[in-house]
Structure 1
Amino acid sequence: MLCTLFISLQSFAFQPSEIEYVEYKGEVVNANNGRGISSAYLSLNNSNISTITNADGKFSLKVPEDLIEATVTISVLGFQSKTLPLDYFKPEETVIELEETVEELTEVSLYKATNASLLVKEMLAKKDDNYLSDQSLMTSFYRETIKKGWNNVSLSEAVVKIFKSPYNSNKKDLVSLYKARKSTDYDKLDTLALKLRGGPFNTLYLDMMKYTEYVLRPEMMNSYDFKFDDATKINDRYTYVVDFREMDQSDPWYFGKLFIDAETSTLVKAEYSLNVDDRDAAAAMFVKKKPNGSKVYPTELNYQVDYAQNNGKWHYAYGKAQMDYVVNWKRKIFNSKYKINTEMVVTDWQAYAGNDWKKSVDLINPNIVMVDDVSGFYDSEFWGSNNIIEPEKSIQNAIDKIKRKMNDE
């Protein structure tokens, strides 16, 4: 599903947006200990606008001026959801506390599902009923980071337009880069330019209910072992948790958790991994080009996908992939370790019945490699009114260094 490629890049830039908006920043924290909560979903009610917190619990939410009377719902797995008026939010240092979910979920609360495998099959059978049946146009924010050891060596960000085909259609989604920027510190990469092929498609293809061919192929259901784990609540709704694991472990194999709404049998979240203990097989799957004298292979691959509901229909809302790679050189004592993180959140969407959008933009190829655009990090107004995921501390420090270096030149 994901792979790397070693190639050279070209640059591009976009003009800032002129849409007026109000920006609110803050942190979502655990009410018990004050720690930041990652991947908390903030949704502006009665609109399609949303965002998500970063690994530190920080968020940035941009709202059009004419929607300032709205309310915002904050939700995340393991915590009680909370709805707040927009006037609670501040331009800086908004603090939102969420209480942990401690309710014990009984069989009565969770209806009567007793067979985990049958529940997953029912989830797939109800896809056409539970997910978007009309095509839509989504606006998303994509971030891709590459670390060598503890140092950020490559940062890419983009506002992405997605032409999302219906879930009951075999048509692939189409993607256009609306705005993008990137910087790579090739000095810290030594002589190795590690680049990820696929760009935003890597996180878009994590949509398990749209792209069932990657993990949950209906014809392969009998090749998985499904077991119930402890139930939970998501968005204050009772949710089954199903552990799954491929039984054939001769090649890289999937395992993880499916979070299935108890009332509708809808997949609302998935956290899963690909076992890559077989280094040669994993390298053949994910490494498409490498320098002579080196051996490159993944050591850990973790994925997450979240869905959001609107008017009774669910759709892809957030995808994240975390990938660890090792590079061994024949004549070097120590190897090099790289971490590649990609994530994409849908920040706005609308039903879209026409085809004129596809004629007015440049669609990107699923094999795209994000291109270099150093000047993007210099422009403080680059993103305009588009919602983004707040940079984590280490990423923000890297961006600040880039800005300082450019100011000194």
Structure 2
Amino acid sequence: MRNLIISLFLLFSLTTEAQVKQLKGRVVDSASQAGIAYTNIGVEGTFYGTASDAQGFFELKVPEEFQKEQLFFSAVGYENQTFDIATLLQKDFVKIDLTEQTYDIENVDIAAQSRVLFRIIKSAASNIPQNFHQGPLGMKLYYQEELKTADGTQQKREAVIDFFDETAYRSPSITDAFKNRHYQFSEVKKDFESYSIASGTTGFDELIEMDIARLANSVLNAHLLNDFDLQLESISPFNGDSVWVISYKTRKTDLAHTGDYYATRLDGKIYISQNNYEILRNECVVESKHNNPHNRSLATKKNEQNQVSYHFTATYKPQAGKYSLNYLDCDKTFTDSKNKKITLSRKASVLDLSTSPTKQTGKDYFENEAYVENFWNSFKRPQ
């Protein structure tokens, strides 16, 4: 009997391993063969995926249910590419060549195209209150923060956050979001001790400011839109619908246009459904001379984050009848005051959503929650 149980356990383990396959590779510029940082990689028609690292390398565990689907690669400034996952999985290591985005100016009226794209983005922005949840709205999120230094030091914080938004997407703006969004850390697991304000700072507030639909800022601000160059990258299928993929680049890199006090560059892509102008995804690459470690939107006289480069993504999906935030991530690199290179990654996934939440106030800019072993032993992290 004991041998039978062991055999069944081994059979189950082998079956489970067979169901999930590991895809490894690198995304490179087709001309220079240099790695393309922060390429978005995902299963077509889903929110399942990953992103390449600063050198273009990536790893993706592919469950059996996705192994016959398509995998897309999307990077700011490059043409999208799509491949059969089954074909990619036949190789131990894949190289994905992306070509820089170009436009046939001789055959396209750029001015006319820009006017159409301006109308699409303005319609998406004005339709946010109709397409997205109006408050009050409650969410439970899984938050993960990882910091790595060039000398090999690592820190990791995981948390569950109770999030409350009094007005949600009813009247999106920066001031409305700051006033009506509140959150508390309810569970925390980390591999370091918080002995100072700096180590206790969560950075979550900076991350949720990248919810472009909630703040209606940057390219979704009608008063700023004329300062952006727009291009139609593609019209792609997504969940039975067609989606405009519009790239944008600002000619003004001030705080209003970028959300970053010291930005020198902002390029992005926004994905808008043709169904009813729903915003499905926004991704951005930003470069900045400095960042305040508490929030990129704040000024600073210190040199704690210099030569900053980061990529962030926000995705949205319908939940309980309306659209709302689904996922946020930001991968940032910078040099600190001692000229050491730092890599900082922050991610948040929505675990649960309620349209009848319990009201809460305040924001946990710093956390000092105790570690609860039983909770984390049973907690299932989102993929």
User: What CA distance in whole angstroms lies between the structure 2 residues aligned with 1:315 and 1:287?
Assistant: 30
The correspondence for 1:383, drawn from 351, 356, 376, is 376
Q: CA deviation at 1:370?
A: 4.3
Work out which of the residue numbers 309, 321, 326 in structure 2 matches 1:300.
309
1:150 Cα deviation after fit: 6.8
Deviation at 1:201, TM superposition (A): 2.2
Q: How does 1:214-253 map to 2 (within 5 A)?
A: 216-249=220-253, 252=263, 253=265
Q: In structure 2, how many angstroms separate the alpha carbons of the residues matched to 1:312 and 1:99?
A: 37
Q: Is the 8 A contact 2:283 2:313 kept in 1?
A: yes
Corresponding residue for 1:337? 341
- Residue from 201, 208, 212 that aligns with 1:208: 212
Say yes or no: does 1:168 pair with 2:165: no
Q: 1:113 to 1:284 in 2, by over 3 A?
A: closer
* Structure 1 residue 58 displacement after superposition: 4.4
What residue in structure 1 maps to residue 268 of structure 2?
A: 256
For residues 284 and 42 of structure 1, do their structure 2 counterparts lie closer, same or farther at Cα, with a shift above 3 Å needed? Answer: closer
Tell me by how many angstroms 1:234 deviates: 2.8
Per-residue displacement from partner, 1:100-120 (whole Å, max 9, x unpaired)?
9xxxxxxxxxxx997111110
Amino acid at match of 1:247: R
* Per-residue deviation, 1:26: 7.8
Cα distance, 1:284 vs. partner? 8.7
Letter in 1 for 2:275: E
Structure 2 counterpart of 1:406 = none
Cα gap change, 1:338 to 1:232, in 2 (>3 Å): same
In structure 1, the residue matched to 2:108 is none
CA RMSD of aligned residues (A): 4.3
Partner of 1:315: 324
Percent of aligned positions that are identical: 16
- 1:308, 1:299 → 2: CA distance? 30
Q: Whose helix fraction is larger, Structure 1's or Structure 2's?
A: 2
Q: 1:76 to 1:371 in 2, by over 3 A?
A: farther
Match of 1:128 in 2: 129
Distance 2:378 2:268 in 1: 36
Write out aligned runs for 1:174-185 (5 A).
174-184=182-192
Q: CA deviation at 1:248?
A: 2.0
C-alpha distance in 2 between matches for 1:166 and 1:298 = 34
Structure 1 position 78 matched with structure 2 position 88 = no
Shift of 1:29: 7.2
What secondary structure is seen at the aligned counterpart in 2 of 1:128?
helix
Q: Which amino acid aligns with 2:366?
A: V
2:60 corresponds to: 57
Letter in 2 for 1:231: I
1:342-393 C-alpha deviation (Å, 9 max, x unpaired): 00000111211x6xx236xx7434xx134486x56xx3x3336644246xxx
Deviation at 1:310, TM superposition (A): 2.8
Letter in 1 for 2:130: D
Q: Hey, what does 2:141 align to over in structure 1?
A: 140
User: Does the Cα contact within 8 Å between 1:143 and 1:343 map onto a contact in 2?
Assistant: yes
Partner of 1:268: 280
CA separation in 2, counterparts of 1:371 and 1:230? 46
Does the aligned pair in 1 maintain the 2:125–2:221 contact within 8 Å? no
Match of 2:32 in 1: none
1:317 and 1:126 map into 2 onto residues whose CA distance is 18
1:39 deviation in Å?
Answer: 6.0
Instruction: Give matches, 1:85-104, under 5 Å.
Output: none
Q: Give the letter aligned to residue 269 of structure 1.
A: R
The structure-2 alpha-carbon separation of the partners of 1:320 and 1:223, relative to structure 1 and needing over 3 Å to count, comes to same
Corresponding residue number in structure 2 for 1:364: 363
Q: 1:39 to 1:320 in 2, by over 3 A?
A: farther
Unaligned runs of 5+ in 1: 1-24, 44-50, 61-70, 80-96, 101-111, 187-191, 330-334, 391-409
Assess, with a 3 A threshold, how the Cα gap between structure 1 residues 142 and 279 changes in structure 2: closer, same or farther.
Answer: closer
Q: CA deviation at 1:136?
A: 2.1
Q: In the aligned structure 2, how far is the partner of 1:28 from the partner of 1:304?
A: 29
Whole-angstrom distance in 2 between the partners of 1:52 and 1:152: 29
Alignment-mate amino acid for residue 199 of structure 1: G
Would you say the 8 A contact 2:44–2:72 is kept in 1?
no
The CA distance in 1 between the partners of 2:278 and 2:215, in whole Å, is 15
Q: Contact 1:184–1:372 at 8 Å: present in 2 too?
A: no
**Which structure ranks higher in relative contact order (CA pairs < 8 Å, sequence separation ≥ 6)?**
1
Deviation at 1:172, TM superposition (A): 2.4
Distance of 2:45 and 2:237 partners within structure 1: 17
